[in-house]
Amino acid sequence: MSLVSINPATGEKFREYQETSQEETEVILRQAQDDFLRWRETTFEHRRDLLLKVAADLRSNSQRYAEIMTAEMGKPIKEGRAEAEKSAWACEYYAENGEKFLAPEPVETDASKSYVTFLPIGTVLAIMPWNFPFWQVFRFAAPALMAGNVGVLKHASNVTGCALAIEKIFRDASYPEGCFSSLVMGSDRVGELIDHPVVKAVTLTGSTPAGKAVAARAGNALKKTVLELGGSDPYVILEDADLDQAVTACVTGRLINTGQSCIAAKRFIVVKSVAKAFEEKLLTVMKEKTMGDPTDESNDIGPMARHDLRDELHDQVKQSVDAGARCLMGGKVPEVEGAYYPVTVLADVAPGMAAYEEEIFGPVASIIPVRDEAEALKTANDTPFGLGGAVFTGDIIKGEQIASEVIEAGACFVNDFVRSDPRLPFGGVKESGYGRELSRFGIREFVNVKTVYIR
């Protein structure tokens, strides 16, 4: 069986990859286990040096890696370069801080000496999505390998070229062969990977249904999981917000990666007294954004990653309009080659509509008018998801209180759009998953937190 790469901007089939056989998979997993036994004994200094080599490769070859992303999933090429460079940042961050994050911590007890140590556990299976095909991988791989673990990647089928390019980056940096490997296979074989005795833990970024299936399978095998799942991030616009600032952040947060992001701004919840002004300003900025060839630096959004995803998005828009939403712009499938969908703005979105109830994964903004602040905050939490959120207000003290205490999410920003940062923990609550990536919390997810007690 083979996996085929299709350029979403043209519909052209341009590459075919042979699937990793069961026999080859067994060899790769056994190599991972053998190399883990040696890798865990290496010094932090050695791991640091290799990880910095990876970072240097990502920076010096960012254009080449961006071209692979653009060809496979349609990412605007300027965003692809930024993604490669952000991946390098994550490597540099853990290279410089990994040893400190995992240093033994003394604890005062009645023992003569007691402390907590953080030890690697083995092979971490990463099941990763197509939307950020480099960043999603490196935010798991950098901390996992720095901690002394090894990684096996099962990437999304439509970004196999990215998976193999990442594997080569680690090889070229002189990592042992089993420290990082990519398996070329469809999702139907994920279960056998989770069950394999070499695999000690699983990290997945993907949809909520996929997360539930992986969690159930891993739980049956008593293997720890970290799940970063879907999101329907609320951006709350209060009466005293700076609307120009809010609109700039909302547009950036909604359209990054052609709107195909778990932490994209998805529901704009606007107090009615400023809703009309917000709509007008949002439309003005949205109309300036250009859609087209993702290799053209001047375009803001490219095609969606696949035609079926584009068609699913359009169905959600149609269902919402049929239910009473106003389509202020966009909302029609363009008659061009490729999986393109225009920047779309829906107003008067209300409960029961697809644009309110479901995750909208594409360049579609949903404006939800509310009476007042109390209804805005209630609406923000009226979702099964809890990945990110934002609040816009001129009262910073109130904004901080809302962000820290009220909005149910793994991250909440005040007067800015939500994004991940190697220095801050990243993850969700409710149906957006559990566990954390990045920061000191991320590197400690896949270690044995071990008590040592000496009388």
Pairwise CA distance, residues 178 & 25, whole Å: 12
Place of tokens 């996992």: 144
Among the listed residues 102, 97, 93, 82, the one whose alpha carbon sits nearest the alpha carbon of residue 139? 93
Q: How far apart are CA 160 and CA 146, in angstroms?
A: 24
Candidates 72, 92, 228, 445; catalytic one: 228
Is 127 within 8 Å of 190 (Cβ atoms)? yes
Catalytically annotated residue among 91, 162, 179, 262: 262
Residue 228 is among the residues annotated as catalytic for this protein: yes
- Answer yes or no: 358 catalytic: no
**How many whole angstroms separate alpha carbon 192 and alpha carbon 97?**
34
Three-state secondary structure along the chain?
CEEEEECCCCCCEEEEEECCCHHHHHHHHHHHHHHHHHHCCCCHHHHHHHHHHHHHHHHHCHHHHHHHHHHHHCCCHHHHHHHHHHHHHHHHHHHHHHHHHCCCEECCCCCCEEEEEEEECCEEEEECCCCCCCHHHHHHHHHHHHCCCEEEEECCHHHHHHHHHHHHHHHHCCCCHHHEEEECCCHHHHHHHHHCCCEEEEEEECCHHHHHHHHHHHHHCCCEEEEECCCCEEEEECCCCCHHHHHHHHHHHHHHHHHCCCCCEEEEEEEHHHHHHHHHHHHHHHCCCCECCCCCCCCCECCCCCHHHHHHHHHHHHHHHHCCCEEEECCCCCCCCCCCCCCEEEECCCCCCHHHHCCCCCCEEEEEEECCHHHHHHHHCCCCCCCEEEEECCCHHHHHHHHHHHCCCCEEEECCCCCCCCCCCECCCHHHEECCECHHHHHCCCEEEEEEEEC
Catalytic residue numbers read 228, 262
